[in-house]
Copies of this chain bind each other. A is one copy, B any other.
């Protein structure tokens, strides 16, 4: 487990011996099945989670049921919201749900605070994570406030497909990802299909013309 930790969190390899001891003693391996809500909007924080494997989706749910994905916590990452909660002793402003089986290390709040107080390396690690997420959130605000849905959808499809040829997701899944409505996504996808950019199947979208989607995804190129 210790080898795991520094393999996946290289930033923690340099941890001071004393800090390393606090970490090892305060940490508890956890495994969570997919679809579990690891924290809910409005609840208090119970542990600082270092994700070793799998992915946690952090999302905001509106009263009317619409949702938007804020970010994902993947191997080698931690959750800013959790950090925020622990440091301010406040409550969560969103919810976290496991998308896959997640294996991780849960660090007790006491140990977390003690590490923050004593370890330069640990602090640097936590702050680094903060910086990345804040940038992400700013980008998200910009996208949501000013972005066009077709561009955002094209970008999302490319991102989710990676090097694969298709995306396995329902229209509803894609809508949540963008904070939009299912019907809007259905219509956009139909339009993409008419334009020969994708092929649609139940629960899957095949990318048939990547270049077209890429052209769509970035408006004036970069």
- Give me the interface of A with B, judged by CB distance under 8 Å: 60, 62-64, 66, 68, 70, 80-81, 84-85, 87-88, 90, 93-94, 116-117, 120, 123-124, 127-128, 130-135, 137-142, 144-146, 179, 219-220
Nearest 10 CB-CB pairings of A with B:
A88-B131, A62-B146, A145-B179, A93-B138, A87-B127, A84-B131, A144-B145, A84-B134, A137-B137, A144-B144
Q: How many copies of this protein are present in the complex?
A: 2
B141:A137 contact, CB within 8 angstroms: yes
With a cutoff of 8 Å between Cβ atoms, the chain B residues found around residue A130 in the complex are 84, 87, 130
- A139 touches which of B64, B93, B142 (Cβ 8 Å): B93
CA distance A62 to B128 in the complex (A): 26
Interface centre among A116, A127, A145 (most CB of B within 10 A): A145
A84:B135 contact, CB within 8 angstroms: yes
